[in-house]
Structure 1
Amino acid sequence: MRHDGKGRVAAVALALLVTAAATGCGTTAESAELPSSKTALVKQAKKEGEVTWASWNPEAQMQPAIELFEKKYPGIKVKYTNIKAPDQVSQLKVEQAAKKVSLDVANAGGLTMTPAVKLAGDVDWAKYGIAQKDIFAKNFVYVWATPKVWAYNTDKVKPADVPRSWDDLLDSKWSGGRISAESRASFMSVWDLDPSMGETKALAWAKKLAALKPHYSPNVTQAESPIETGEVSIGTSLASLVLAAKDKGAPVAIAPVSPTSASESYLYVPKGAPHPAAAALLTSFLSSDAAQKLLAKSYNSRIPVNTDCSDPGNTAVLRAMCEVELKWYGTATLQKYQKLSGFYPKVEREFGTDVG
């Protein structure tokens, strides 16, 4: 064993490297160098041969778009994994610290938008054909919207009793667990986005809703289920969930409670992604017209960021919202997402659902 100065320096350096690798301390994963043209991107993506995409949607909804991508770009295999947005953030933080990232394409939106900014790699989306209007905060691509809505059970609620405003939802006939709400309060985003509403009014409304003793669910997806079964008469949901449930024969419909939020979803390539070119190629493909038409069939395509019913076209979500004359607001800037991060906990405290 060597005991000279150089030996001790070498031993210390080795120990620091081992510790950094084991704990994930020190540096984080960096953005990969990507080709300067779409043609070169395709070539590099085919060399990589695969891409892992994480999203919160069921794989069956994404499968048609995946199959079209693999047909258009033979030799590139898409590995889809269903991971909730908060879990994606947690996983990527750990993996990037350890410099061992497993995801190539991740999903962000709502509460996960702000933390995702630090996780996203730099990509010049414009040179890969992404329209400027669909690029958000430089590194994110707007791919679909899941508007927050109020839904009701058509067997439980008479047409004359269907709520048409946020104040209608505070009627005593919905008390005693006849109304369900997402405990995390994201369905109230519009109160912070619409200048005519605002935080003060939002907290007052939330306190009144809490007095009705609603059925609270941990997320919007789980808030939809009791509406379909008739456990509650009305509750918070997503437009996509309501339409999918109707397709299966569930007695549900969208209530004309306005305004609401567009709830945009974005894709991004995390720093340290193992297949960055294939990730950028898949993301740009999912933003294309061909992919958007397929995604629209499972209620997952883009809609205008703010209220616009001038051309609903074949987008079922947009048509459904326009049919009940909903007005909606999008989260147009990163600053608004950051503001919402402080807004939700305040509403949760009024609900009595804040668990820190």
Structure 2
Amino acid sequence: MASNFRQIHKTFCLVFLAVLSLSGAPTLWAQSTEGSKAAASVAELATYTGADRQARLIAGAKKEGTLTVYHVYPALSKVMAAFTQKYDIKTKAWRAGSEAVLQRVISEARGNKFEVDIVQNNAPENEAASREKLLQEVRSVFHQDLIPQAVPAHKEWVGITVDVWMAAYNTGKIKKEDLPKTYEDLLSPKWKGQLGIEGNNHAWFGALMAQMGEDKGLALFNNMAANNGISVRKGHSLLTMLVSSGEVPLALTVYSWNPEQVKAKGAPVEGLALQPLMAQPSTIALLKKSPNPHAALLFYEFLLSDGQKLLADDKFVPTSKKIEHPFTQTPVKYIDPAMAIDMQAKWTKMFEDTVTKRAK
């Protein structure tokens, strides 16, 4: 009897839940999966490739009315302004350094706070966010216009520009004919007290050592630091300004766009490409729990289309293959973002032991 009663009760419960489902009445199951349904809608929208994709994004973005962007590039403010002008979608932005942006995204997610839609950061930092399962795969028709290094297999971030590390020199302090042609040339006594470097370039340094051959590269920089000295400064833009003032006649690591931007304002600065030339993409990513996914994806597409020209006009190196730039014909070695994460501890220690702790 007890067994029959349990079977009857089980059958009744199943029928009751089915009736509730058909009538549209809410169930405990439906309530508990509300969050996963919202996440699925972001994924569905991000991977939708139908002919009406753009129309859907625009219509949805108009209803959302806004989006929030965390970013590291100061220049992204200009792109956001252009986006607002084109679509009348307001943008809220928060800007900080790459590590601070990554940490905020992670800490907010762990605290179940989901306010950010798009994050712009260096490739290793957004790859770290991908490992935290925070980013959404996006399929975009504009991916086909980009260099291969800008589109990883998982498509959870995409490169919008390329940060190329290069040297920069003060044209009033150093004659063109005296410029070094290789890193080995910097061992000459004439560079004593002339050199500077940005203090957080461990990824550049580690990847450069791998290209040179670790033993050979470390010996070269050890000799350079010991004999000629390398002053360490925080910030690529600051280091470029110190080159323009003549305080640092030759900087080893600025971004390619740094000297171009200050040169356009009349500063006596030129960039110098010493091989091997190292680079990494600067990227954008859509958050899995974006509160404004239509506006976020519309901005994503804008950055890969109209935004490419805007960034190129501001001296950045675009990832679009359709736009010419100074490095189109120049050999560039790209840092693997995953390797940069896995090797961070080793590369940081190498850089500190060889350069920053011996700064003069």
* TM-score normalised by the chain length of structure 1: 0.76
Structure 2 CA distance for aligned equivalents of residues 125 and 326 of structure 1:
30
Structure 2 CA distance for aligned equivalents of residues 68 and 220 of structure 1:
26
Cα 1:222–1:142, aligned 2, differ >3 Å: closer, same or farther? same
Cα 1:352–1:298, aligned 2, differ >3 Å: closer, same or farther? closer
Aligned length: 307
Structure 1 CA distance for aligned equivalents of residues 172 and 261 of structure 2:
18
Cα 1:244–1:139, aligned 2, differ >3 Å: closer, same or farther? same
- Confirm or deny that 1:241 pairs with 2:255: no
Decide whether the 8 Å contact of 1:152 with 1:252 is kept in 2. Answer: yes
Measured after TM superposition, the shift of residue 128 of structure 1 is 5.8
Partner of 1:88: 101
1:55-74 → structure 2 map (5 Å cutoff):
55-58=71-74, 61-74=75-88
1:214-229 → structure 2 map (5 Å cutoff):
214-229=230-245
Structure 1: runs of 5+ lacking an equivalent: 1-26, 305-310
Whose helix fraction is larger, Structure 1's or Structure 2's? 2
Decide whether the 8 Å contact of 2:206 with 2:351 is kept in 1. Answer: no
Indicate which of 121, 138, 143 corresponds to 2:160.
Answer: 143
Structure 1 CA distance for aligned equivalents of residues 272 and 316 of structure 2:
20
Partner SS, residue 196 of structure 2: strand
Indicate which of 106, 130, 144 corresponds to 2:119.
Answer: 106
The amino acid across from 2:250 in the alignment is: I
Indicate which of 94, 97, 100 corresponds to 2:110.
Answer: 97
Partner SS, residue 254 of structure 2: strand
1:1-356 → structure 2 map (5 Å cutoff):
31=39, 33-34=41-42, 35=45, 36-37=48-49, 38=53, 39-58=55-74, 61-74=75-88, 76-109=89-122, 111-119=124-132, 121-127=134-140, 129-131=142-144, 133=148, 134-136=150-152, 137-176=154-193, 178-186=194-202, 187-188=204-205, 190-192=207-209, 194=211, 197-211=212-226, 212-235=228-251, 236-288=253-305, 290-303=306-319, 315=324, 318-319=325-326, 321=327, 326-331=330-335, 333-341=336-344, 342-353=346-357
Partner of 1:16: none
Partner SS, residue 117 of structure 1: helix
The amino acid across from 2:84 in the alignment is: E
Q: Percent identity between the aligned chains?
A: 24
Decide whether the 8 Å contact of 2:168 with 2:269 is kept in 1. Answer: yes
Please give the per-residue CA displacement for 1:144-185, whole angstroms capped at 9, x wherever unaligned.
112110000000001221111111122222223x21111223
Cα 1:141–1:256, aligned 2, differ >3 Å: closer, same or farther? closer
Structure 2 CA distance for aligned equivalents of residues 73 and 199 of structure 1:
50
Partner of 1:9: none
Decide whether the 8 Å contact of 1:190 with 1:259 is kept in 2. Answer: no
Decide whether the 8 Å contact of 2:136 with 2:288 is kept in 1. Answer: no
Structure 2 CA distance for aligned equivalents of residues 285 and 352 of structure 1:
40
Please give the per-residue CA displacement for 1:27-85, whole angstroms capped at 9, x wherever unaligned.
9xx95622235233333222221111222222xx33443233224323x2122332211
Structure 1 CA distance for aligned equivalents of residues 231 and 248 of structure 2:
8
Decide whether the 8 Å contact of 2:167 with 2:274 is kept in 1. Answer: yes
Partner SS, residue 112 of structure 2: coil
Partner of 2:7: none
Partner SS, residue 131 of structure 2: coil
Measured after TM superposition, the shift of residue 256 of structure 1 is 3.5
The amino acid across from 1:104 in the alignment is: D
Cα 1:352–1:240, aligned 2, differ >3 Å: closer, same or farther? closer
Decide whether the 8 Å contact of 2:308 with 2:319 is kept in 1. Answer: no
Structure 1 CA distance for aligned equivalents of residues 140 and 234 of structure 2:
40
Q: Which runs of 4+ in 1 moved over 4 A?
A: none
Cα 1:68–1:184, aligned 2, differ >3 Å: closer, same or farther? closer
Partner SS, residue 266 of structure 2: coil
